[in-house]
Amino acid sequence: MSILEVKDLRKRFGNNEVLKGIDLTLEKGEVLAVIGSSGGGKTTFLRCLNFLEKADSGEIVVNGNTVYRAVSGKEPEILPSAQLSFGLVFQQFNLFPQYSVKENLMLAPRLRAKRKDSAVPYKEALELIGKRADELLATVGLTEKADAYPCQLSGGQQQRVAIARALMLSPDILCFDEPTSALDPELTGEVLRVIRSLKNSERTMIIVTHEMEFARNVADKVIFISEGMIEEQGTPEEVFGSPKSEKTRAFLRSDS
Amino acid sequence: MALFLEVCSQLAGGFVTAFLLFLLTLIFSLPLGLLMSFCTMSKFAPLRVLFKIIVWVLRGTPLMLQIFAIFYLPGLLKWFVWPTMNTGWVWFDTTFTTRFIAALVAFVINYAAYFSEIFRGGIQSISQGQYEAGQVLGLTRREVFFKIVLLQVIKRIIPPMSNEIITLIKDTSLANTIGVLELIWEAKDFMVLDGLIWPLFIAGAFYLIFVGVLTIAFNKIEKKLDYFKA
Ligand SMILES: Nc1ncnc2c1ncn2[C@@H]1O[C@H](COP(=O)(O)OP(=O)(O)OP(=O)(O)O)[C@@H](O)[C@H]1O
Ligand SMILES: [Mg+2]
């Protein structure tokens, strides 16, 4: 069973039809790179997957469960658990400034553990959460920054914290929206290396990026989105090496 | 010297009243102001418009007028509706407590309106990304507001808040217009009854010292929140 199936996802803002029917399947452990020119709808697509925008119509199926279903003109149905199926790393990091790095990681799991319906006693849960935070900080190479505040970190370090924070709740699919485009060029490398290191058979990732080299090296699958539609998809070799569509070719030419 | 001490002790009594009015106003108007700010930002248009009008009226008319209105209007209305069963036209009777309560109500409502605008400015200045980051991490809107946004808002609104709160201290003197025995009233007493002017300056010193203390307190809070940038 595929970990993610997106069926005919559509979204419009007023008269502007931004997503014109996106269909996609992704297997567990796959990395999908999403490329496309500015305004094509890449961000909107990720935001719909993370329910920051509600798609007007279409279906999102995770592990065989339909977590989101919308029919044009009706209120969409969202499973309560849907949100945690996805994680999102923002272009602008969006760390919580008043919390230290480790507190940023722990905040959401901690608040969830505090809720009445939580199965584990709070104290026990807290210990596990702290351990997991330490592990993830090590993964992104920021163990020694655990007690620093976001304003004391470089952009690249902030983005690595944001990645660790998104991983705390073990989402089925982790999404990145241009994770390095707010960074100085010399800082993009450290973030891309961390993302690459996350790749394993358990983690499924969707990465919107303008870093073509990175997409080519890390992705198992690439889609090119243009004007709200998937214009081309395939393996990196197929899309970058021998693109079928004229639009893709033009885009790749202009980008390199 | 004996006179000086007498003046001071009487003024101290007035100061306690003023301080109580100040403190109770803060305690009630801060949460009420937060609630009002939510109403003025509501997606439900009738509620939003209603509260925008309320805030407009409360900020657009003199506080003294509002104190009179709270003190006299209920009685007047009652007199219009049931003229026979009423003994007087003051609904809040003349005991000190009810005068104090009338003043307090007026202050709370008026300051809640001012505070609500400060809260609104603060809340709207927080980037959408903070809310979205919270939502994506599975937090409820409530958790996002109280655990993520609120402290950032507080940090940002401390300067305008301290301004408004310092104004409130001095505004408590308006309560003497309906016979609340606060600082200015007591000082005026000496002027009217004993022909003494200088107690008024002592009263001024009371305000000054209190404002000084609060200024220091606000600076402390500001320093305390200096550890992060928002
Ligand atoms: N909240 C919104 N309201 C109205 N229009 C929007 C909104 N969000 C996005 N759009 C429009 O949707 C279109 C697609 O935007 P989107 O941000 O998804 O593009 P993108 O592919 O991510 O571009 P970029 O590479 O510049 O990030 C644009 O025309 C944009 O103006
Ligand atoms: Mg974008």
Signed CA dihedral, A241, A242, A248, A251: sign only: positive
pLDDT in tens, A77-100: 999 889 999 999 999 999 999 999
pLDDT at B94: 60
Question: What is the tally of structural domains in chain A?
Answer: 1
Q: Please indicate, yes or no, if residue A25 is contained in any of the structural domains.
A: yes
The token pair at B117 is 């605008």
Q: Is A200 among the domain residues? A: yes
Residue owning the nearest CA to atom 6 of ligand 1? A13
CB A96 within 8 A of CB B133: yes
What CATH number has the domain bearing residue A85?
Answer: 3.40.50.300
Q: Would you say residue A219 has pLDDT above 80?
A: yes
pLDDT at A119: 78
* Chain B contact present for A112, CB below 8 A: yes
The mean per-residue pLDDT over the stretch B185-192 comes to: 89
Q: Say if residues A86 and B138 touch (Cβ distance below 8 Å).
A: no
Once rounded to an integer, what is the mean pLDDT over residues A193-210? Answer: 93
Residue A137 lies in a domain: no
Considering only CA atoms, which residue is closest to atom 28 of ligand 1? A39
Structure confidence by residue, pLDDT tens digits, A153-165: 999 999 999 999 9
Q: Residue A155, exposed/middle/buried by CB under 10 A (0-12, 13-18, 19+)? A: middle
With respect to residue A160, please indicate whether it lies within any of the assigned structural domains: no
Contact between chains at B138 and A108 (C-beta distance less than 8 A)? yes
CA–centroid distance for A179 within its chain: 9
Beta pairing class for A204-208 and A173-177: parallel
Whole-number pLDDT of residue B88: 52
Contacts of A111 (CB under 8 A, 6+ apart): B139, B143, B147
Residue B84 has pLDDT above 90, yes or no: no
pLDDT of residue B82: 63
Q: Is residue A85 part of a domain?
A: yes
Average pLDDT score over residue span B148-173: 95
Average of per-residue pLDDT values in chain A: 94
C-alpha dihedral over B104, B110, B116, B119, to 10 degrees? -70
Token pair belonging to B51 = 């509260």
Q: What is the ipTM of this complex?
A: 0.93
Which pair of structure tokens corresponds to residue B13? 């009594």
Q: Which atom of ligand 1 is nearest to the CA of A53?
A: 1
Residues B229 and B222: their CA atoms lie apart, in Å, by 12
How does pLDDT run across B45-78, given as a tens digit for each residue?
A: 999 999 999 999 999 999 999 999 988 887 666 6
Pocket of ligand 1 (CB under 6 A): A 13, 16, 18, 36, 38-44
Does A145 reside within a domain?
no
Mean pLDDT of A213-239: 94
Q: How far is CA B139 from CA A111, B75, B189, B208, in A?
A: 8, 49, 58, 45
Output the pLDDT for position B3: 87
Q: How much is the pLDDT for A238?
A: 94
Residue pair A49/A175 in contact by the 8 Å Cβ criterion: yes
Please state the length of chain B.
Answer: 230
Q: How far apart are CA A21 and CA A174, in angstroms?
A: 22
What's the whole-number mean pLDDT along residues B190-204?
90
All residues at 6 or more sequence positions from A148 whose CB lies less than 8 Å from its CB, including other chains: A100, A101
What pLDDT does A191 receive? Answer: 95
> Which atom of ligand 1 sits closest to the CA of residue A45?
18
Q: Which of residues 128-157 of B touch A (CB under 8 A)?
A: 129-130, 132-139, 143, 147-148, 151-152, 155
Nearest CB to A112; choose among B130, B138, B148? B138
- Those of residues 123-152 in A touching chain B at CB distance below 8 A are 149-151
Predicted local distance difference test score (pLDDT) of residue B93:
56
Ligand 1 centroid distance, CA of A43 (Å): 7
Handedness of CA A212, A216, A220, A221 (dihedral sign): positive
Place of tokens 């209105």: B69
Q: Are A137 and A102 in contact (CB under 8 A)?
A: yes
Q: Is residue A120 part of a domain?
A: no
Mutate to test the interface with B, among A46, A96, A132 (most CBs of B within 10 A): A96
Sorted by where each starts, the structural domains of chain B and their CATH numbers stand as: 2-83+90-228 (1.10.3720.10)
> Nearest-CA neighbor of B117 among B31, B60, B36?
B36
* B150 and A120 Cβ atoms separated by less than 8 Å: no
Domain boundaries, position A79: 4-96+171-255
Q: Which residue's entry shows tokens 């702290």?
A: A130
Domain-located, residue A107: no
Report residue A120 as tokens.
Answer: 């584990």
Answer yes or no: are the C-beta atoms of A189 and A131 closer than 8 Å.
Answer: no
pLDDT attached to residue B177? 87
Note whether B132 and A91 are within 8 A (CB).
no
Task: Give the residue among A27, A31, A37, A4 at the shortest CA–CA distance from A195.
Answer: A31
Q: Quick check: A158 contacting B, CB < 8 Å? A: no
pLDDT digits (tens, 9 = 90+) for A128-179: 999 999 999 999 999 999 999 999 999 999 999 999 999 999 999 999 999 9
pLDDT band at A201 (very low <50, low <70, confident <90, very high): confident
Q: What is the pTM of this model?
A: 0.88
Structure tokens of B55?
A: 């805030």
Which residue is associated with the tokens 């998104």? A166
Res B95 pLDDT > 80: no
Q: What is the pLDDT of residue B36?
A: 97
Distance CA A199, CA A167 (A): 13
pLDDT of residue A253: 87
Residue A9 main-chain phi, psi, to 5 deg: -75, 125
CA dist., res. B219 & res. A68, Å (int): 49
Which of A13, A20, A46, A224 best tests ligand 1's pocket when mutated (most atoms within 8 Å of CB)? A13
Report the DSSP pairing between strands A77-78 and A221-226: unpaired
Q: For B119-152, b where at least 16 C-beta lie within 10 A, e where not — what string?
A: bbebbeebeeebbbbbbbbbbeeebbbebbbbbb
**pLDDT higher than threshold 70 for residue B86:** no
DSSP element (H, E) containing A225: strand A221-226
- Contacts of residue B89, Cβ cutoff 8 Å, sequence gap at least 6: B72, B75, B76, B79
